[in-house]
Amino acid sequence: MIELRGISKAYETGAGPVHALNSVGLKIESGEFLSIMGQSGSGKSTLMNIMGCLDRSTEGQYLLEDLDVANLSDKSRSALRGRWFGFIFQNYNLLPRLSALEQVELPLLYNRIPDRRRRAAEALEQLGLSDRIYHRPSQLSGGQQQRVAIARSLVANPQVVLADEPTGALDTDTGNEIMGILSDLVKERQITLVVVTHELHIANWSNRSILMRDGLIIEDSIIAR
């Protein structure tokens, strides 16, 4: 479903280019639960941002099904992003002044999907947040905020969910609870899930783990159960 071929990314900075990815090749099948591990600065977020069409590579080919994403215009890429991907971030990325319900309605608004209120309420209910739909982020715990963000990532029915250190701001128990929710989702909805983490016990929830170092994938292994 996702295929990266020779993907490189150089960031231009005042001090010259920073090579964040150095010819990465990666194939992800539909329904896979992949974790991306590696030290800080190894290129995990860069890779994830390119996969999610949030950023573009400086070299290489990105095939999403049959579509050559690397050559699309910014406008087509952002339409593709809305239709294909849901995102979850370490710091939840919720808007401080919106209620949980309004946060989850946003992807529906962007994708012009009707019946927003009902769909958003349903998504929150599935995350066990029925009694929190009018709460703002500051009135929710970290775990609850991340569950709102998960509901938001799923409400428009994406095929792929990309999570960049989704448990990074949570304690171990809450982190495991979030990973349990994500792992059930893969099974129930046949979503493709990619989770960036630097913690082994988080990666162990996945079915396949790649390890990055200096902008390269240096290991790619199936996780035995």
Which residues of the shown chain bind ligand ADP in the complex (CB under 6 A)?
A: 11, 13, 18, 20, 38, 40-46
Torsion on CA atoms 42, 47, 48, 54, rounded to nearest 10: 130
Smallest distance from ligand ADP to CB 41, Å = 4
CA distance 124 to 139: 16
Of 62 and 140, CB closest to ligand ADP: 62
Residue number with CB closer to ligand ADP (13 or 138): 13
Those residues with Cβ within 8 angstroms of residue 131's Cβ, 6 or more apart along the chain or in another chain: none
Per-position x/- string for 33-52, each x denoting binding to Mg ion as judged by CB under 5 A, each - no binding: -----------xx-------
* Cβ closest to ligand ADP, residue 13 vs residue 73: 13
C-alpha distances (whole Å) from 127 to each of 47, 121, 155 are: 28, 10, 11
β-pair partners for 119:
none
Cβ closest to Mg ion, residue 144 vs residue 197: 197
The 216-222 sheet, strands edge to edge: 85-89, 160-164, 192-196, 33-38, 208-213, 216-222
Total of chain residues touching Mg ion, rule CB under 5 A: 2
Could you tell me which residues are beta bridge partners of residue 4? Answer: 26, 62
Q: Residue 38: name its binding partner from ligand ADP, Mg ion, none (Cβ under 5 to 8 Å by kind).
A: ligand ADP
Question: 3-class secondary structure for 198-217?
Answer: CCHHHHCCCCEEEEEECCEE
Question: Which residue has its beta carbon closest to Mg ion?
Answer: 45
Tell me how far, at minimum, the Cβ of 146 lies from ligand ADP, in Å.
18
Q: Which does 13 bind (CB under 5 to 8 A by kind): Mg ion, ligand ADP, none?
A: ligand ADP
Binding interface with Mg ion (CB under 5 A): 44-45
